[in-house]
Amino acid sequence: MLLSVAMVVKNEINTLDRTIKSIRGYADEIVIGVDKGSDDGTRELANKLGDKVIDIYLSEELDKKESVTRDDDTWGFSKARNMVLDACKDANYRLTLDGHETVIDPQNVSDVIADAVEKGCDGVEVELLFEPDANGIPRQMIRQGRILAPTVRYNNPLHNVPIVKRLMFSKEFKIEHRKQDQAAESREDRDEQRSDSTINGLLKDIERDPKNTRSWFYLGNAYRGDERWQEAIGAYDHYLTISQCVEERMYARVNMGVCYDNVGNLASAREQYARALDEFPGMVEVYCSLGELACRQGMFVEAQLWLEACIEMPVPDRMLFVNPRAYLVDRYDRLSLVYGNLGRYGDAIEMAGKALESVRDSRIENNVKVWRKALGRK
C-alpha cells in the first residue's frame, strides 16, 4: 500500500522537523505546500525535508475573501489542501497533516489502510488529540477524516472536513495537534486568519444552504472562539431548530450555556446544561458544567449531587468530541472543592488524590495540605 503525506504549512520552523520525523519511515513521499506568506525559513527547511515542495497561496486567499462566491466552493484552506493532494503521486491513500502535528503509532498505518481497502472505504477517521498539556492530557479529542483515497477533496468552508462517501473509524492511528509549540506570532496570525475566514465562509455557505446544520454548528463554535457570545447563542439556537444529530445538539447546548454564563445570564446557562443532560445523558462534561455552576453560586449540596452522579462514568469510546480532562481531573477536583466547602475534608482529600493521579497541580496539592491540617494530620 502506498501512502503520500500531504501537508499545508506556514511559519512552522519550530515544529516541521518533528512532524516529518513522526511519519517519515512509514510514508512513500512527503509533499509539502508552503504558503507564499511564510517568512521564517520554513520554505528552506521544507526543501530539505520534503520529497516535493509546492507553493500555495493560503494567506492571499484568506485576505481576498471575495473568492467565496456561489460559484466557488473551494478557496482558502480547502483550496490549499486540494492543491497539495493533487501534487501527490498515485498513492493508495493520502494522509493530511499540519506542520505542528505529530503522528502516534505510525507503524499501524499500513494495517489501517489495508482495512480501509478491504471495507471499500475512501476515508479513515482517526483520533485527533488537541493541545496535550504538560501532563499529556489533551484539551479535547475529536474524530477527523485524515487518511483519504485519491478521489477525496476538501470543500469550503470546513477545511478539515473532507467530502467522503464511505468513512471508517480507527483508534490504531492517532495525531497530536500541538499548535502551542508554534512561534507565538505565527500562531496568533494563523488563528486570526482562520477565525475571520471561517466565519466569512460559513456565512456564505449558510446563504447558499440555510439548512446546512454543520455550518450553523461551526458558526456558533467560531463566534464562541472569538468571544462573540450573543452571536454564538443565536447560531446555536438556530442550529437546534434544524438539527437531529443528538451528540452535536448536546454540545451546542453546553456551548450555549458557556455563552450565557459569560454574559451573566446564569439562569439560561443552567437551562441549557439541563436540557443537554435530558437529550444526551451520560456525558461527564454536562454534569461538570452543572456542578461548577452550582458551586460558583454557593449551592454546594446541589453541586455535590451533580458531581457524585458522574464520578464513575467511563471515558466514551466512540464520540465526535470528548474533553478528557473532564473525566481524568475536573470531576474529581470539583467534587473535592465541594466536599471541602461542606467540611467533608476526608472525602475532599480522597477526590483530590484521584485528580492528582493524572496531573501535577500545585493548587490541588495545596488544597490537600489545607484539608489535612483541618483534620489534624501532617
Domains of the chain: 3-182 (3.90.550.10), 282-378 (1.25.40.10)
Q: What's the mean pLDDT when you consider all of the chain?
A: 87
C-alpha–C-alpha distance, residues 284 and 28, integer Å: 42
| Residue 255: pLDDT over 90 | yes
At residue 319 the predicted structure's pLDDT band, cuts being 50, 70 and 90, is: low
Mean pLDDT over 108-136 rounds to 90
- The model's pLDDT over 138-168, given as tens digits with 9 standing for 90+, comes to 888 888 899 999 999 887 656 677 888 999 9
At residue 70 the predicted structure's pLDDT band, cuts being 50, 70 and 90, is: very low
At residue 131, the 3 state secondary structure works out as coil
pLDDT (0 to 100) of residue 74: 60
| Residue 192: pLDDT over 70 | no
Helices (H), the chain: 16-21, 42-49, 58-64, 76-87, 109-119, 184-208, 213-225, 229-242, 246-262, 266-279, 284-296, 300-309, 324-325, 331-341, 345-356, 362-374
pLDDT (0 to 100) of residue 181: 63
- The model's pLDDT over 1-45, given as tens digits with 9 standing for 90+, comes to 588 999 999 889 989 999 999 999 999 999 999 998 888 899 999
Q: DSSP secondary structure string, 139-202?
A: SEEEEEEEEE-TT-EE-SS-TT-EE-SSEEEEEEEEEEE-GGGS-HHHHHHHHHHHHHHHHHHH
- The model's pLDDT over 327-346, given as tens digits with 9 standing for 90+, comes to 999 999 999 999 999 999 99
pLDDT (0 to 100) of residue 136: 84
At residue 349 the predicted structure's pLDDT band, cuts being 50, 70 and 90, is: very high
pLDDT (0 to 100) of residue 2: 81
Q: Any idea which of 102-116, 180-194, 317-331, 351-365 has the lowest mean pLDDT?
A: 180-194
Q: Any idea which of 52-56, 59-63, 206-210, 296-300 has the lowest mean pLDDT?
A: 59-63
Q: What is the DSSP letter of 328?
A: I
- The model's pLDDT over 280-312, given as tens digits with 9 standing for 90+, comes to 887 898 999 999 999 989 999 999 999 999 998
| Residue 209: pLDDT over 50 | yes
The neighbour count for residue 285, using CB atoms within 10 Å, is 22
pLDDT (0 to 100) of residue 68: 47
What predicted TM-score, i.e. pTM, was given to this entire model? 0.76
- The model's pLDDT over 259-286, given as tens digits with 9 standing for 90+, comes to 999 999 999 999 999 999 998 887 898 9
pLDDT (0 to 100) of residue 291: 94
At residue 69 the predicted structure's pLDDT band, cuts being 50, 70 and 90, is: very low
